[in-house]
Structure 1
Amino acid sequence: MIWNAIKSSLLSSLPESEFGLWIKPLECREQSEQSIELVGPDRYFCAWVEDRYIDLMKGAAGKMGMTPEIKVLAAEAPVVSRTSTSREQLRLPGVSVNQSRYRSLHPAFTFDQFMVGESNVLAQSACSALATGDRTYGNCLFMNSTTGLGKSHLTQAVVHEVLNSAPATRMQYLTAQQFTADMVKNLRSNSMEQFSKKYINSCDLLLVEDVHTLVGKNKTQEELNTILDYLIKSGRRVILTSAVAPNKLKGLDEDFRSRMTSGLVTDIVCPDYDTRTRIIQHKLHGSNLQLDEELVDYLARKLKGDIRRVESTILGIKAKSSLRRQAPDMDMLKEIMSGFVCQTEEMSAAGIRDLVSEQFKVSTDDLRSRSRKRAITYPRQIAMYLTRKFTKDSLADIGGMYNRDHSTVLYAVKVITRDMARQQATKEQVDMLCSKLEH
């Protein structure tokens, strides 16, 4: 069969993990010498396969002297009949039909694809336990971190695990913005009773991402607070994520804040060097790339913070290496990183903080401390000013980096702006830091 021959060819040319993740799940619905129709789990999965693997499939078919048109379609939701012999959890009498709702899932956001290190081990362990119903860490988890450190990966890993091991679990997985939109829609249609029932009576596991966006939305906070109160007290599982630590979220109802943090609260910080090295090696393996230890070390030292930068860099290495038909070397890595990754890193809040820390000979812990010494407050204010100038981070996000609220950031920006106009030394110092960030 044509498809089996193509799969055999891909199995020999792709890493086993990559083949298992992206090719093995595909099912062949129809095939002939003129066309092959494949079915994947969802639209995202199919789009990824079309973008990355269609050319490889056509190349494999070409070696057999055929040029079929290959289509990859998303599977329709299966309709399970009463007589079906497929795997299905039995429903207890009186339990409503599963009305789960969840966002589109990234097929690679699973537990076995998550790199565990000191920076995230508690969050990973708690998510893994909750996914299997283990209450070792309680039944409520609040995770917070800056962008790109794995919050969404872990929440989606929970969803993947539940769908695989207990598919009849009544689950709601959505963002705080989606929750708000759903609530507003039901308010307008006078159907809030149905809205509450969906989240209270028909939910075994609730996952809400980006709860920091609820700041100032009092009605949404009130509704979600009521839901959390019932779910947590009745032993249901709850996972919440935020880009800001709960004690830094200004504009939240205190009862709501208390309810959200009634279980385990953990942050995910930037991975250390060893974890970054393992992440890079894992991503390289998935892209069928090999780099010398010296090059991996260089990437691990330069690529801090947001893991998406690692993926972006490796994509650049693979593209440039393929285009030039040469093995990656240090010059190529420096060229790629100076072109787009390095600049992104330096323009991140963490990169600016590290630069200021190095320039003023103060530790990042000092910058986050409650110290009011001039030797600490001055570089802290400059770091806040530069972060506001070079990033799109909100005042609250910037404040969170330094254990402060948004009003402190606003004050720091005003102070440094004033001092630059009045004091030449301050202006020269800030200009020098700006120059380093820009280059």
Structure 2
Amino acid sequence: MVWNAIKSSLLSSLPESEFNLWINPLECRQQDDESIELIGPDRFFCAWVQDHYLNRINAAAQKIGMTPKIKLGVAGKAAAPVVKSTTREQLSLPGMSVDQTRFRSLHPAYTFDQFMVGESNVLAQSACTALATGDRSYGNCLFMNSSTGLGKSHLTQAVVHQVFNAAPGTRLQYLTAQQFTADMVQSLRTNSMEQFSRKYVNSCDMLLLEDVHTLTGKTKTQEELNTILDYLIKSGRRVILTSAVSPNKLKGLDEDFRSRMTSGLVTGIEAPDYETKVRIIDHKLRGHSLNLEDELVDYMARKLNGDIRRMESTIIGLKAKSRLRKQPPDMALIRELLSGMVSAGTADLTTEGIRSFVSEQFKVSTDDLRSRSRKRSITFPRQVGMYLTRKYTKKSLAEIGGAYNRDHSTVLHSVKVITKNMTRQAGTKEQIEMLCTKLKAD
């Protein structure tokens, strides 16, 4: 079989995870010496393969002495000869100009059925599902915020997949705030703001804009986007905005713009709870054809906190090391893998994990840590939590402050206080060092 031979060649030249993600899902519907008809799960998957792997597929075919015409299509639809795209950031739908629809590169696995729902994200998932299907139960404007790696992009891309699969004629704009700014600047330079406005106002049925926290301080972009949002929301168009910081923590924003962005549903996505992490890990293990005992899954769920991408990375590493050593994954291998993710055994430390640790050590609740209380019994643990989070994570001051219901200046002050006291008070220094030792060993 020609396609099997091509796949074997690609498997030897691509990383296994990449092969499993982009080549393995392709199915051969028909093949002969002159052509191969391949089908993928959806048109976006096929577009990505077309742009990033077509040359590799052709090279692999030539390697085995074949030069077939490659046809690529979506399951259930007729395959068509592949024509090389002229852009990697947007596709034109039938009967529509390229200017009318724009979206970022989509991950084929970022769909609703691949999203693990838990208490930490159920409202965001429900709202996105409703907006994707045209249900206005949650309104027509959604603002989602969360730390990195908790599923904002997964949900927004799931919306795009759903919309284009169900209603491919939808005029949709999906891009980052940085891309929006660059587009506006280019339009200003070329005196084409009329076309810019037409694209995002008259010719836009749905706008998905990620990373709006990057617009802080960009007054002109805020003004333009505020005007666009005003029109889209009032005319009933669907809008989804995402941010790494909650709206009330965003600095350098025009208040009218902040009000407009949060005129609909505002919801955060928290780190997954234990049960959700178990389901996520189980799901990703199945995707990598791994089967672990419950004890091992339990250990990973307890150790891997926060960023879901870290779970994926751990499982990929687990599979690779297991194959390399030709032994099934065991506790020793998992411990080794987790301890090596970052130095000093702090691979799994997150803002939420450190806050819970401090809560347990000082016998105060997480609600107390987030409260406005100025009692010494509360303020000191809160300052310690901020200090440890700053020391062991890469979170920004604003993100750390958000975990304790404070702003970035409070975090900076807390770090300075703890650092100063450690140099002047032996008791504080010993206490912090003891906590650091416990935290890394936990």
Look up the match of 1:13: none
Distance 2:417 2:47 in 1: 52
Distance 1:407 1:243 in 2: 18
Counterpart secondary structure, 2:100: coil
Look up the match of 2:112: 111
| Contact 1:144 1:243 (8 Å CA) reproduced | yes
Q: CA deviation at 1:194?
A: 1.6
**The 10-residue stretch of structure 1 (281-290 or 365-374) with the greater mean CA deviation from structure 2:** 365-374
Distance change (3 Å), C-alpha of 1:44 and 1:106: farther
Counterpart secondary structure, 1:41: helix
Q: CA deviation at 1:4?
A: 7.2
Look up the match of 1:137: 138
Match of 1:401 among 389, 400, 403: 403
Distance change (3 Å), C-alpha of 1:218 and 1:273: same
Q: CA deviation at 1:98?
A: 6.8
**The 10-residue stretch of structure 1 (379-388 or 125-134) with the greater mean CA deviation from structure 2:** 379-388
Amino acid of the residue matched to residue 282 of structure 1?
H
| Contact 2:340 2:347 (8 Å CA) reproduced | no
Q: CA deviation at 1:392?
A: 2.7
Look up the match of 1:146: 147
Q: Give CA-to-partner distance per residue, 1:372-400, whole Å, 9 cap, x none.
A: 11111111112212222333322211111
Distance 2:275 2:196 in 1: 46
Distance change (3 Å), C-alpha of 1:310 and 1:69: farther
Q: CA deviation at 1:300?
A: 1.4
Q: CA deviation at 1:89?
A: 8.2
Q: Does 1:213 align with 2:218?
A: no
| Contact 1:22 1:49 (8 Å CA) reproduced | no
TM-score of the pair, normalised by structure 2: 0.82
Distance change (3 Å), C-alpha of 1:190 and 1:415: same
Q: Give CA-to-partner distance per residue, 1:13-40, whole Å, 9 cap, x none.
A: xxxxx9898544456898659x989686
Distance 2:159 2:25 in 1: 22
Distance 2:65 2:276 in 1: 43
| Contact 1:45 1:106 (8 Å CA) reproduced | no
Look up the match of 1:369: 371
Counterpart secondary structure, 2:242: strand
Q: CA deviation at 1:434?
A: 3.3
Q: CA deviation at 1:121?
A: 1.1
Look up the match of 1:255: 256
Look up the match of 1:186: 187
Q: Give CA-to-partner distance per residue, 1:180-206, whole Å, 9 cap, x none.
A: 111111122222222111111110000
Q: CA deviation at 1:344?
A: 5.0
Distance change (3 Å), C-alpha of 1:70 and 1:272: farther
Q: CA deviation at 1:423?
A: 1.3
Q: CA deviation at 1:155?
A: 0.0
Q: Give CA-to-partner distance per residue, 1:140-184, whole Å, 9 cap, x none.
A: 001111111100000000001111111111110011111111111
Q: Does 1:125 align with 2:113?
A: no
Distance 1:344 1:193 in 2: 51
Distance change (3 Å), C-alpha of 1:117 and 1:162: same
Q: CA deviation at 1:328?
A: 1.1
| Contact 1:209 1:242 (8 Å CA) reproduced | yes
Distance 2:336 2:51 in 1: 32
| Contact 1:29 1:37 (8 Å CA) reproduced | yes
Look up the match of 2:393: 391
Q: CA deviation at 1:110?
A: 0.5
Amino acid of the residue matched to residue 185 of structure 2?
V
Look up the match of 2:293: 292
Amino acid of the residue matched to residue 42 of structure 1?
A
Look up the match of 1:430: 432
Q: 1:31-430, aligned counterparts within 5 Å? A: 32=33, 41-43=46-48, 76=83, 99-340=100-341, 343=345, 345-430=347-432
Distance change (3 Å), C-alpha of 1:142 and 1:220: same
**The 10-residue stretch of structure 1 (347-356 or 300-309) with the greater mean CA deviation from structure 2:** 347-356
Counterpart secondary structure, 2:148: coil
Distance 2:245 2:50 in 1: 30
| Contact 2:145 2:242 (8 Å CA) reproduced | yes
**The 10-residue stretch of structure 1 (383-392 or 203-212) with the greater mean CA deviation from structure 2:** 383-392
| Contact 2:177 2:215 (8 Å CA) reproduced | yes
Unaligned runs of 5+ in 2: 8-18, 40-44, 73-81, 87-92
| Contact 1:119 1:269 (8 Å CA) reproduced | yes
| Contact 2:346 2:440 (8 Å CA) reproduced | no
Distance change (3 Å), C-alpha of 1:408 and 1:291: same
Distance 2:54 2:421 in 1: 55
Distance change (3 Å), C-alpha of 1:44 and 1:180: farther
Distance 1:174 1:401 in 2: 28
Look up the match of 2:11: none
Q: CA deviation at 1:433?
A: 3.0
- Count of residue pairs the alignment pairs up: 407
| Contact 2:339 2:347 (8 Å CA) reproduced | no
Counterpart secondary structure, 1:358: helix
| Contact 1:44 1:106 (8 Å CA) reproduced | no
